[in-house]
Amino acid sequence: MDLEQIKDDLVFLRGYDAVVFGSYVTGDFRDGSDIDIALITRIKDYEKNLDILKSFIGRAPAVYDIRVFELLPLKIKASVMDNYIVLCGALPDISEYFYHYRKLWGDCKHRVAAGYFGSYREQVAAIQRFKRLEGHIDIVKAQDHTDHHRKIERLVQM
């Protein structure tokens, strides 16, 4: 499938920045693979991003896996930023927006690679620190963190 076909299939994403990432970009795409799309909202609010994600459920053909960039774990964000193709939006604007996340990833990737976090609580504490750095005011408590992941999993399964 070519990029123009993807743009035609996902015309409803116009108005947002969006990038294609994953196997389609890296060349590992095979029959049966999905096409990963990261929608860039530039919104820090978790619930608003979740509402945006919900609004797109069922609108795209099943071959597309649409995710909100701001809801992705930092490690996945780093993967997106390493290999992407712009679907909607301007490359310079998207690249500039990614700068902040590249810096965050650069500050913590050595810890992730080394298995730095000894426990789940340490991971949650690190996530909370990064959310504060990203401008989030509300800090997610450990038990709420699990609930948020369950919400996302339920949405994905719909």
> Does residue 36 contact residue 113 with C-beta atoms inside 8 Å?
no
Residue 123: C-alpha distances to residues 30, 117, 126, 145 (Å): 34, 6, 5, 11
CATH of 3-114, one of 3.40.50, 1.20.1740, 2.60.120, 3.30.460: 3.30.460
> Does residue 23 contact residue 81 with C-beta atoms inside 8 Å?
no
d(CA 38, CA 65): 8
DSSP notation for 113-130: HTT---SHHHHHHHHHHH
Helix (H) or strand (E) holding 70: none
pLDDT at 149: 56
pLDDT at 104: 86
pLDDT at 143: 44
63-83 pLDDT, tens digit each:
999 999 999 998 899 999 999
* Domain ranges for the chain: 3-114, 118-157
Q: 35-40 and 64-68: which strand pairing?
A: parallel
Give the three-state DSSP class for 68: strand
Q: At 126, is the pLDDT very low, low, confident or very high (cuts 50, 70, 90)?
A: confident
Strands (DSSP E) contained in the chain are: 17-21, 35-40, 64-68, 84-88
Maximum alpha-carbon separation in the chain = 46
Give percent above pLDDT 90 in the chain.
54
Torsional class of 89: left (φ above 0), alpha (ψ -120 to 50), beta (otherwise): left
pLDDT at 153: 59
Average pLDDT of the residues in 111-136: 69
Find the range with the poorest average confidence among 20-29, 52-61, 99-108, 121-130. Answer: 121-130
pLDDT at 90: 96
Helix (H) or strand (E) holding 12: none
d(CA 34, CA 18): 16
Cβ atoms within 10 A of the Cβ of 104, count?
Answer: 16
